[in-house]
């Protein structure tokens, strides 16, 4: 079983839609959590950290449920420029473990 699991998608949504991605992790000792964004054939870049109380950055909202070992990312009012692969990343106290990513395509 992979340590970090994501629905691979693809998610195809119209502009303006709200879309949510989920991620589960298996290591209960995991300490910190992140969402990275990766554009096609580019390097990953940090989108946002995920805090226990949940956090928001503009149209993006991240939630963490430690009891269920579950992380989510909500994107409101999707833009064409949001099209990318979103990587769930978990720190297992020794190193960072990456999910395989969820691909999002936002269409006009």
Partner 1 sequence: NAGVTQTPKFRVLKTGQSMTLLCAQDMNHEYMYWYRQDPGMGLRLIHYSVGEGTTAKGEVPDGYNVSRLKKQNFLLGLESAAPSQTSVYFCASSYLSGGAGELFFGEGSRLTVL
Residues of this chain that bind partner 1 (CB under 8 A): 2, 4, 8, 31-34, 36, 41-46, 87, 89-91, 93-101
Identify which of residues 18 and 52 has a Cβ nearer to partner 1 in the complex: 52
3 state SS for 50-88: ECCCCEEECCEEEEEECCCCEEEEEECCCCHHHCEEEEE
Identify which of residues 76 and 97 has a Cβ nearer to partner 1 in the complex: 97
> Shortest gap between Cβ of 51 and partner 1 (angstroms)?
13
Mode of pairing for the β-strands spanning 4-6 and 19-25? antiparallel
Dihedrals φ, ψ of 15, to 5°?
A: -50, 140
Identify which of residues 39 and 56 has a Cβ nearer to partner 1 in the complex: 39
């Amino acid at each position: 079983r992979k340590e970090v699991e994501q629905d691979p998608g693809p998610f195809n949504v119209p502009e303006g839609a709200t879309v949510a991605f989920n991620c589960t992790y298996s290591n209960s000792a995991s300490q910190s959590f992140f969402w990275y964004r990766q554009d096609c054939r580019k390097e990953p870049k940090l989108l946002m950290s995920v805090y226990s109380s949940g956090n928001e950055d503009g149209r993006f909202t991240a939630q963490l449920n430690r009891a269920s070992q579950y992380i989510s990312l909500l994107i409101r009012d999707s833009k064409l420029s949001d099209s990318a692969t979103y990587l769930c990343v978990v720190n297992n106290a020794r190193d960072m473990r990456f999910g395989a990513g969820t691909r999002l395509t936002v269409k006009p």
